[in-house]
């Protein structure tokens, strides 16, 4: 396959960047991969794992002569990184990102990009609860959506080229406006993470339930909250601070629904509960039918000892 880009720079070398590198290399989508991470330890691990052709010692150096620069850092750090790499970018280069919030990222990054550089924000809807340069694998994006969020003056050829890269890594492509993206993600990702963090925190604070009981009986449902709540705390701190309006809107709706269920339980309204659970169960079936999860027993997990 002919390479889509010559040189790609990955700024930030965690799960998403390392998975991109493995996927791009497997499919022959690029000629050269250069990486940079703020932590010297992360850079050393990336060199050891070997998913980059070269690991630079600064974001500026990594971005020089790159045809595509992908910002894979927490959303709260993207403005500062864009400020550093701006002077290094060559005319005709494309800058993208993988952030879970788009309005703030666009506002923070765009002012630092020089004329002649294309800005095409994106967000791959893929991940695990693991992080770091050792966590990546080439199959992470297969049959998962990558949402491309062009800005007002995004070059359409640059958009199409980036979309081809993500397709080559196995992703499905959609385009969306930034504000709508942030609302959709607050429903499908951000608020569920916040609820998971909260439920795990409640269990931690509940003195009448011992640590051993929480661990022993977690397969009853709590385990799935803990998987989500194990995600990178810095990344999720920045997501909530930078998608405040949409998250608070959905939390308000969630609170209203929770109060309605509380009332039904208090009143013994079984009809309301059954109708509600039947309707929400259908959402799960729709997700499976769309190929975004499996109906295999135990959500497709390998059977663990003691399950």
Between CA 137 and CA 143, with CA 141 as vertex, the angle to 5 degrees is 135
pLDDT tens digit sequence for 215-230: 777 766 777 777 777 7
Task: Let me know whether 216 and 233 are in one domain.
Answer: yes
Q: Is 298 a residue whose pLDDT tops 60?
A: no
Q: Please give the average per-residue pLDDT across 247-276, as a whole number.
A: 90
Based on the fold, state whether residues 239 and 101 are members of the same structural domain: no
What span, in angstroms and rounded, lies between the C-alpha atoms of 212 and 79? 44
Q: Which domain holds residue 68?
A: 5-176
Report the range out of 173-187, 194-208, 211-225 with the highest average pLDDT: 173-187
32 and 164 co-located in one domain: yes
One domain, residues 250 and 229: yes
Q: What is the pLDDT of residue 55?
A: 97
pLDDT value of residue 48: 96
Q: Residue 175 above 90 pLDDT? A: yes
CA angle (160 as vertex; 5, 2 as ends), nearest 5: 35
> Do residue 118 and residue 261 come from a single domain?
no
**Exposed/middle/buried for residue 279 (C-beta within 10 Å: 0-12, 13-18, 19+):** exposed
Q: Are residues 144 and 184 in the same domain?
A: no
Assigned domain for 284 exists: no
Percent of the chain with pLDDT over 90: 60
Q: How confident is the model at residue 300 (pLDDT cuts 50, 70, 90)?
A: low
Are 186 and 246 a contacting pair, CB within 8 Å?
yes
pTM of the model: 0.80
Secondary structure of residue 94 in the 3-state scheme: strand
State residue 155's pLDDT score.
95
Percentage of the chain beyond pLDDT 70 is 93
Q: Has residue 303 been placed in a domain?
A: no
Same domain assignment for residues 86 and 165: yes
Domain co-membership, 120 together with 44:
yes
What is the per-residue pLDDT across 44-81, written as a single tens digit (0 to 9) for each? 999 999 999 999 999 999 999 999 999 999 999 999 99
In terms of average pLDDT, the best of 75-79, 158-162, 228-232, 243-247 is 158-162
Q: Are residues 78 and 154 in the same domain?
A: yes
Q: How far is CA 280 from CA 90, 128, 254, 256, 293, in A?
A: 50, 24, 13, 16, 16
Write down the pLDDT at residue 143: 92
């Amino acid at each position: 396959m002919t390479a889509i880009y010559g040189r790609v720079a990955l700024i930030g070398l965690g799960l998403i960047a390392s998975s991109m590198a493995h996927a791009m290399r497997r499919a022959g989508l690029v000629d050269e991969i250069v990486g940079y991470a703020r932590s010297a330890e992360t850079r050393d691990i990336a060199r050891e794992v070997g998913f980059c052709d070269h690991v630079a010692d600064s974001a500026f150096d990594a971005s020089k002569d790159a045809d595509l620069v992908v910002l894979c850092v927490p959303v709260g750090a993207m403005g500062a990184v864009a400020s550093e790499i701006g002077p290094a970018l060559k005319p005709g280069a494309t800058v993208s990102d993988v952030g879970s919030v788009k309005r703030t990222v666009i506002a923070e990054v765009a002012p630092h990009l020089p004329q002649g550089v294309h800005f095409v924000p994106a967000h791959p809807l893929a991940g695990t609860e693991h992080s770091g340069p050792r966590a990546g694998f080439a199959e992470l994006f297969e049959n998962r959506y990558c949402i491309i969020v062009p800005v007002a003056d995004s070059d359409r050829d640059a958009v199409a080229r980036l979309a081809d890269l993500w397709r080559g890594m196995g992703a499905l492509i959609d385009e969306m406006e930034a504000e709508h993206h942030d609302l959709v993600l607050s429903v499908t990702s951000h608020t569920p993470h916040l609820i998971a963090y909260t439920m795990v925190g409640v269990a931690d604070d509940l003195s009448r339930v011992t640590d051993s009981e929480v661990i022993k009986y977690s397969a009853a449902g709590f385990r799935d909250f803990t998987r989500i709540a194990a995600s990178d705390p810095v990344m999720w701190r920045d997501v909530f601070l930078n998608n405040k309006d949409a998250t608070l809107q959905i939390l308000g709706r969630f609170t209203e629904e929770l109060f309605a269920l509380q009332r039904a339980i208090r009143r013994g309204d079984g009809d309301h509960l059954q109708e509600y659970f039947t309707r929400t169960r259908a959402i799960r079936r729709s997700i499976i039918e769309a190929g975004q999860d499996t109906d295999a027993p135990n959500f497709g997990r390998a059977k663990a000892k003691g399950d």
